[in-house]
Amino acid sequence: MNKYLILACCCVGLSVQAQTKKVDFIQNKKENKVEVTVDGKLFTSFIYPDNLEKPVLYPINAANGATVTRGFPLAPRDGERNDHPHHIGLWLNYESVNGLDFWNNSYNIPAANKIKYGWIRNTKVESTENGKTSGKLSYSSNWENQAKQILLKEKTTFIFSGADNSRTIDRITTLTAQKDSVFFKDIKDGMLGIRVTKELEMPSNKIEEFTDSQGNITKVSASGNGANGNYLTSAGKTGNDAWGTRGNWCVLSAVKDGQPVSIAIVDHPKNPGYPTYWHARDYGLFAANPLGQKIFSNGKEMLDFKLAPGQSVTFRYRIIITSGEKITPEALNQQALAFSK
């Protein structure tokens, strides 16, 4: 067995034998969807319909069957917040790429304003590989403006695996600039994001307002819906103190349906801006943004990341979903070490 997978298993207190969960893919080309199953149970689906502004993993389920992603806007559930319609499942994009906003684009943007927004189009599933201990899905996409001119070509590989009480996604994404140089302005909204179910939100009794790069204001209601989540970073930051701080991992934990659940994101040392800044909001947006350094450091740092024509950059992340038991900081430190190799 791959030593990578052995360590991923042992870190959450599971036996090596438990890691050997079969991963299969079920393609539905008519719906532009690929279902990912672990031991015959739905883990997640890779979806890329033409009317969605980016490809995403949605929904995402823990090993015990609990759904850890928000349903809105694709399948709203009672008691959920309905803010930020661009927060769907698990995705990767950025708020300012040559001035185009890929992050905030959604059906909610008026047609007259769409010219300011980017779109990840022409997604093609290149291959799927079922496996006894892990499965692999690779796809390609284009990061385009509204005139369908290509700024970046994307190649992404997901590696999915699962154990009795855990599910793991390794995401490796390579972006290649095309005819023009591509500039990623230091900005708040990026880059790997997941919008979580209401139980994983942090408790809040206030209404908040958030403004994006185009000046659009989004109001977020108070929680009051069973929210009991809390963040912890590798640097020991918790709750709202995690936002805008660096760490090589961050975990969001809660109790759902009487059982502990958690989502952890692990950064990789080869990523630009490592260790990443955490764009971790109490209302359920959990994101890693290594490129927004000027914003998160209050101007003390600046990255101004650029790609020349033909130049590439690769981003690597590990996402771990646990249920039935709480993953420990020691286990996450081991995960980070294993993932870095």
Instruction: Work out whether the CA dihedral 173, 39, 261, 104 comes out positive or negative.
Output: positive
The SS3 of residue 19 is helix
Q: Which domain holds residue 179?
A: 3-339
Contacts of 274 (CB under 8 A, 6+ apart): 248, 267, 268, 290
Residue 234's pLDDT is 98
Query: What pLDDT is stored for residue 109 in this prediction?
Result: 95
pLDDT at 182: 98
If one counts the domains in the chain, the total is: 1
pLDDT for residue 226: 85
Per-residue model confidence (pLDDT) at position 6: 41
Cβ atoms of 336 and 266 closer than 8 Å: yes
How would you list the strands of the sheet with 150-162, edge to edge?
A: 119-129, 135-144, 150-162, 166-177, 312-323, 259-266, 249-256, 230-233
Terminus-to-terminus CA distance in the chain, angstroms? 16
Q: Whose structure tokens read 């914003």?
A: 295
Q: What is the spatial distance between Cα 98 and Cα 88, in angstroms, rounded to a whole number? A: 23
Output the pLDDT for position 5: 45
Q: What is the pLDDT of residue 204?
A: 79
Q: CA neighbours within 13 Å on the CB side: how many for 119?
A: 20
What residue ranges of the chain have pLDDT lower than 50?
1-18
Peptide bond into 302 cis (omega under 30): no
pLDDT of the residue at 218: 72
Query: 3-class SS at 6?
Result: helix
